[in-house]
Amino acid sequence: MIRDPELLDQLIDTISRFVRERLIPNEARLAEEDAVPVELLQEMKEMGLFGLSIPEEYGGLGLTMEEEALVAMEIGKTSPAFRSVFGTNNGIGAQGILIDGTPEQKARYVPRLATGELLSSFCLTEPDSGSDAASLRTTAVRDGDHYVLNGTKRFITNGPEADVFTVMARTDPNHKGAGGITAFIVEGDTPGLKRGPSDNKMGQKGAHTCDIIFEDCRVPAENIIGGQEGQGFKTAMKVLDRGRLHISAVCVGVAERLVEESLNYAIERKQFGVPLADHQLVQAMLADSKTEAYAGRSMVLDAARRKDAGENVSTLASCCKLFCAEMVGRVADRAVQVHGGAGYMAEYAVERFYRDVRLFRIYEGTTQIQQLVIARNMVREVS
């Protein structure tokens, strides 16, 4: 749902110009320094990017799902690490508090998440618990008016820098499934919270992840999201639809950038005396990539509109995540192929994007998890 087309066009134009004039020229610097430049981070805060999906009453822009998807497509046209730094504040780092948090929790944390004063992180994955999130082992034991957390979380986005963590921990050791899991808000300077070294990843340099270790970490009982034990996994599941649609939109943006890079190179580069773009087999790769990017855009916007209309889009969100994450991988592969040997060289953006997009098929639910969600929902609806 688009509430004010003129205002949205202004926002998208501003973000598009920011991406084109500020972020794209700094992509190589981002990758080389493995960090978002401080001045760009400040500009992101001033533009309101940390509060895109946070309601206006808490200082955010309050974008609808469709509006957020359109914005995410523009942001996707540059290195994914730029988006990663503020993406968690708009997604799983804030949405759980917004959906299930107490009024006090919302008032304390959400406004500062919207401005970027606080950087958030979401702790669910563990060394022995990835796609099977309900089997997590991190424990939270009641001790007076506190809980004592012990355990390790792995691959935690923004982990090295985050100021506040949403942490999933098992409060009921006798309940081995999802029902024994509780969500906690844990501030980054809490004694007993330790951060491992930053992970050395295949791609997405500048988007930092690390282990988060809890060793007798004492968290006030009032920091249980919603104030009730056993609701943590349900809270995590509630934020997935929006997160999956957001990531799908980013995949579309990256795909569109790669189509543009491939087309420009094919027009400029000559082989056998004519531009690459005149060769039919190159044209076929360009056409396939354009078609798939358009299909992804159409899917995401349709699902976003349905979500804004109040429909249950769990299946559609997984369809989008499944298709778009796989699609952008194919587009990136073709982009390297169109560039030929140059596409394998670090001086060209497609080489970096080829590595960056591989992660989209893994986080926010792997491709295989999306297949299971879709199929199980289909069967459930018929049954």
Question: Which of 344, 333, 327 lies closest to 292, judged by CA?
Answer: 327
Return the CA Rg of the chain: 21
364 is catalytic: yes
Cα 154–chain centre separation: 16
CA distance 328 to 342: 20
Q: In three state form, how does the secondary structure of 162-210 look? A: CCEEEEEEECCCCCCCHHHEEEEEEECCCCCEEEEEECCCCCCCCCCEE
Question: Which of 242, 350, 246, 342 lies closest to 289, judged by CA?
Answer: 350
Q: Read out DSSP for 107-142?
A: HHHHHHHHHTSS-EEEE--BTTBSS-GGG---EEEE
Q: Is the dihedral of CA 118, 186, 231, 126 positive or negative?
A: positive
The DSSP 8-state label assigned to residue 145 in this structure reads: T
Q: Name the active-site residue from 39, 46, 364, 381.
A: 364
Q: Read out DSSP for 35-98?
A: S--HHHHHHHHHHTGGGTTS-GGGTS----HHHHHHHHHHHTTS-HHHHHHHHHHHTTTTHHHH
For residues 192 and 208, the answer to whether their CB atoms sit within 8 Å is no
Cα 231–chain centre separation: 23
CA distance 51 to 69: 14
CA distance 159 to 164: 9
Active site residue ranges: 364
